[in-house]
Amino acid sequence: MRVLAFMVLALALSVSTARAEWLEASSDHFVIYGDEEPEKVQQFAERLELYHATMTQIYGARQTKPSPSNRVRIFAVANAATVRKVLGTKQRELVGVYIPHAGGSVALIPRLEKASMYDMSGETILYHEYAHHFMRAVLSARAFPRWFTEGFAEFSAGARFNKDGTITVGTPPYYRAAELRFARSVPIRTMLSFDGGSASANTAFYAQSWVLFHYLHMDPERSGQFVKYQQLLASGKSALAAAEGAFGDLDKLEKDMDAYMRRRRLAAKVIDGKALKTGPISIRKLRVGEAAMMPTMIESKVGVDEEEAKALVPVARKTAEAYPDDAAVLSALAEAEFDAGNDDAAIAAADRAIAIDPSQINAHLQKGYALARKAASGAPGSPSWKEVRAQFIKANAVENDHPVPLVHFYLSYRQAGEQPTQNAIDGLEWALSLAPYDSSLRWLVAQQMVTDERLSDAIVTLGPLAYSPHPSDDTEKAMALLKELEARLQSSASSEEKTTGDAPGGE
């Protein structure tokens, strides 16, 4: 039960705070919170920025810097058991979680310990999931076959940070050894299909994906085939047709992969860390009020249901009463109040936070959410949709490249039953370019494209969601709509062809 989990988390954090001070490490792409020694937090932030820079160099991506609130926020808690308690799960294999959201993706991992090549540690999971984040945000927003996305993530997650300052990428994921040895093998044609046979559980799919990705990248005998494969996919070839066109005989490929994994030594990429460009990392001790509010912040950011939200509010209020002049504390209170359905209290807390610190973007957003919910209620004295939009415009002015104000400016028209302006639609699509990993945002953009009869654009937009590496109800909806739109386009093309064929000709 998540209510009990919150109390356990609060106790665990209060005990750990007595042992060490909560620190925040801020860098170009990450914000890390941990009750660790400064050196440990600093080193972890450095590894993450080097990891990002390493992938940028290997894949020839353009170095980008997200807006402050669009960075990945990482909470390092006591241990894997605490992670499971926060998430309300008893799955013993779960040691960390990554939740992609526009305006602040969240990771929850155990205490900061350098990743081991033999264990699926919290840091290893973070590397794997951040590789998906990187692929969507930096490399390309289009869909790739599932073996490709998982092979990319497994290959990248094997990064090793060496004492001489180099970074090794492509080391074998030994935590997948048992999977390769004992799990059911996925037939090569099933694996190379777009959904990988839905990457079914209890198979060696992840390990096989790593083998193929590594083989194509690192073995000279397959040189150039990976690039050709991408080109064939981009040209519209099916996943299997692209694989056959690039890799040749697939039965031979399967045998070659088996032989490749039996080699005594495999090549790896070694990157000179000193040559990589990373921005500055600042470390600060959290204020006493911020540290006291940390359990509430973690629960709110990971996500709460109605019951959990109502249990969270009294604790958040008590903390805010103790630290009434801390804008971050009041901003967290506003979020807790909104989650619990207390719109007026959320607005009041947000206003107090903004009065102290006008740059408190979360307070601006929580006020906007509460105003929008009041406007949607239609109750006497409720704010107008013009007031709601004005609030999200204020939030946009605080942080221009924050995707969330753009999304909710657009939504205000939909919620009011009005046609969104072109400016609102353009803002929505810009938000997706800022946060291409957010599935709900991608779904929203695709729906607007369908409304505007931009079917080809909608198909491209739906691709990464329909073929997501983590299937969900959203992926099933996206796949159904994708197939429907493809059928509509094909039907339209057939009708045009028939009309052209029926046209009267010359002699």
* Whether residue 4 has pLDDT greater than 50: no
Residue 507's pLDDT is: 41
Residue 1's pLDDT is: 39
Domain boundaries, the chain: 1-137, 142-157+164-264, 303-427, 438-491
The rounded mean pLDDT for the chain is 86
Write the pLDDT tens digit of every residue in 222-232.
999 999 998 88
Domain 303-427 has CATH 2.60.40.10: no
* Stretch 348-355: mean pLDDT: 98
Q: Which residue has the higher pLDDT, 197 or 318?
A: 318
* Stretch 367-374: mean pLDDT: 98
Residue 122's pLDDT is: 73
**Residue 195 confidence class, pLDDT cut points 50, 70, 90:** confident
Residue 11's pLDDT is: 43
What distance in Å separates the CA atoms of residue 356 and residue 326, rounded to the nearest whole number? Answer: 8
The alpha helices in 303-360, defined as continuous H runs, are 306-322, 327-339, 343-356
* Whether residue 362 has pLDDT greater than 70: yes
What distance in Å separates the CA atoms of residue 462 and residue 442, rounded to the nearest whole number? Answer: 7
What distance in Å separates the CA atoms of residue 345 and residue 357, rounded to the nearest whole number? Answer: 18
Instruction: Evaluate whether 483 touches 467 at the Cβ level (below 8 Å).
Output: no
Write the pLDDT tens digit of every residue in 151-193.
999 999 889 999 999 999 998 888 787 787 878 889 999 999 9
Phi, psi angle pair for 121, to nearest 5°: -80, 170
What is the residue type of 447? Q
* Whether residue 504 has pLDDT greater than 90: no
**Which segments within 62-185 are labelled E, that is strand?**
72-76, 97-99, 106-109, 160-161, 166-169
Write the pLDDT tens digit of every residue in 272-286.
999 998 999 999 999
What distance in Å separates the CA atoms of residue 216 and residue 192, rounded to the nearest whole number? Answer: 14
**Residue 17 confidence class, pLDDT cut points 50, 70, 90:** very low
* Stretch 368-376: mean pLDDT: 97
142-157+164-264 CATH, one of 1.10.3470, 3.30.230, 1.10.390, 1.10.8: 1.10.390
* Whether residue 142 has pLDDT greater than 70: no
Separation of CA 379 from chain center: 37
Parallel, antiparallel, or unpaired: how do β-strands 72-76 and 30-34 relate?
parallel
Instruction: Report, at the CATH architecture level, how domain 1-137 is classified.
Output: 3-Layer(aba) Sandwich (3.40)
Instruction: Evaluate whether 340 touches 309 at the Cβ level (below 8 Å).
Output: yes
* Stretch 112-134: mean pLDDT: 74
Instruction: Evaluate whether 302 touches 314 at the Cβ level (below 8 Å).
Output: no
Q: Which residue has the higher pLDDT, 343 or 379?
A: 343
3 state SS of 408: helix
What is the residue type of 56? T
Residue 109's pLDDT is: 82
* Whether residue 199 has pLDDT greater than 70: no
Query: Half-sphere exposure of residue 180, counting CA atoms within 13 Å on the CB side?
Result: 17
Residue 24 in tokens: 């925040």
Q: How far is CA 409 from CA 64, 93, 125, 387, 413, in A?
A: 25, 40, 34, 11, 7
